[in-house]
Structure 1
Amino acid sequence: MEKEFGSLLRLLREQKGMSINQLAESAGISNSQISRMENGLRGVPKAPTIRKLAEALNASYQELMIAAGYLEEAANLNIAVAEQSPEWATYKDKRDFKKMLEEDGELMFDGIPLDQEDRQRIKDVLTGLFWEAKQMNKRKKKNNGTPDEK
């Protein structure tokens, strides 16, 4: 997956006539990081980094996400958000929740990356806390006379 993503990144950069340094400056990412991505020496970047690259290249975010191997994961995330959302959640609430899950960094404990099972446990706890906080905010708005968002 790293090679496929890196090859596409290089192709898009060259099609735009950009150097690695120009892309790095435009995306706010180090040139060495971009070089490592293009050469398959770095793992697939996280979604926020891919978004920066897509914007800097004026390229399709979805195309880069497919090359990075996130397509199936993104589809599963949409299903998970829909299944885990309470009935009162608005579209904006669900969007905020999805964004929170997509943008989480690598989870570590004592300097060691957590395995998938532990990451899922943490996400499950965060899911409960997120929806609890959203519901509390909605109650506060209603009690203060602010109309509820639909």
Structure 2
Amino acid sequence: MDILVENEFGMLLRKLREQKGMSINQLAETAGISNSQISRMENGVRGVPKAPTIRKLADALGVSYGELMTAAGYLEESGTAHDAAQAPEWATYKDKRDFKKMLEEDGELMFDGIPLDEEDRQRIKDVLTGLFWEAKQMNKRKKKPNGTPDGK
């Protein structure tokens, strides 16, 4: 993620927290995240958080998870996890195809034998979207110049 995205995310986080009338300590307690981590995010000192942390922040602030994922740079402005065009700039055609396949082959999602409703399915897909692109990006960074993970 670049510095601009980190700063934009931090500014949005501070704005949302202040709109809710919450202190950093209150948000930290509600979200289950340290107050120093939240302060570093708001000040652009810490990078953009991972998808599970963004979920905690969205739930604690009572805001859209998609909005925070978009501000963090995981999703495009469309806000839909289904659109392969929302992939990061570095994603190849194959990456986009893999992502689309992952989302389309999920079938019926169940928890304790009970089908999940549409809202819960979407939340799971949103989290998977962030994790998928983060894992893809980390994998690309690990590859050596000749294209193999261990450089051999």
Same fold (TM over 0.5): yes
Give the secondary-structure state (helix, strand or coil) at the position aligned to 2:109: helix
Gapped runs of 5+ residues in structure 2?
88-95, 111-120
- Once residues 97 and 15 of structure 1 are traced to their aligned partners in structure 2, the CA distance between those partners, rounded to angstroms, is 28
Residues 42, 117 of structure 1: CA spacing in aligned structure 2 closer, same or farther, 3 A cutoff?
closer
Asked if residue 90 in structure 1 is aligned to residue 107 in structure 2, the reply is yes
Indicate conservation of the 8 Å contact 1:54/1:61, yes or no.
yes
- Once residues 25 and 85 of structure 1 are traced to their aligned partners in structure 2, the CA distance between those partners, rounded to angstroms, is 33
Q: Kindly provide the CA deviation profile for residues 47-106 of structure 1, in whole angstroms up to 9, marking residues without a partner as x.
A: 11001000000011111111100114x54478534325797x52428x6788567447x8
- Identical positions, percent: 59
Quote the residue 1:19 is aligned against: 23
Asked if residue 69 in structure 1 is aligned to residue 93 in structure 2, the reply is no
Number of matched residues?
113
Give the deviation of 1:115 after TM superposition.
5.0
The correspondence for 1:43, drawn from 37, 47, 64, is 47
Indicate conservation of the 8 Å contact 1:37/1:44, yes or no.
yes
Quote the residue 2:60 is aligned against: 56
Quote the residue 2:90 is aligned against: none
Quote the residue 2:140 is aligned against: 116
Indicate conservation of the 8 Å contact 2:7/2:42, yes or no.
yes
Quote the residue 1:5 is aligned against: 9
Give the secondary-structure state (helix, strand or coil) at the position aligned to 1:71: coil
Quote the residue 1:80 is aligned against: 98
Give the deviation of 1:20 after TM superposition.
0.2
Structure with higher helix content: 1
Which has the higher Rg, Structure 1 or Structure 2?
A: 1
Residues 115, 103 of structure 1: CA spacing in aligned structure 2 closer, same or farther, 3 A cutoff?
closer
TM-score of the two chains, using structure 2 as the length reference: 0.58
Given residue 82 of structure 1, which amino acid in structure 2 is its aligned partner?
A: K
TM-score of the two chains, using structure 1 as the length reference: 0.59
Quote the residue 2:113 is aligned against: none
- Once residues 125 and 16 of structure 2 are traced to their aligned partners in structure 1, the CA distance between those partners, rounded to angstroms, is 31
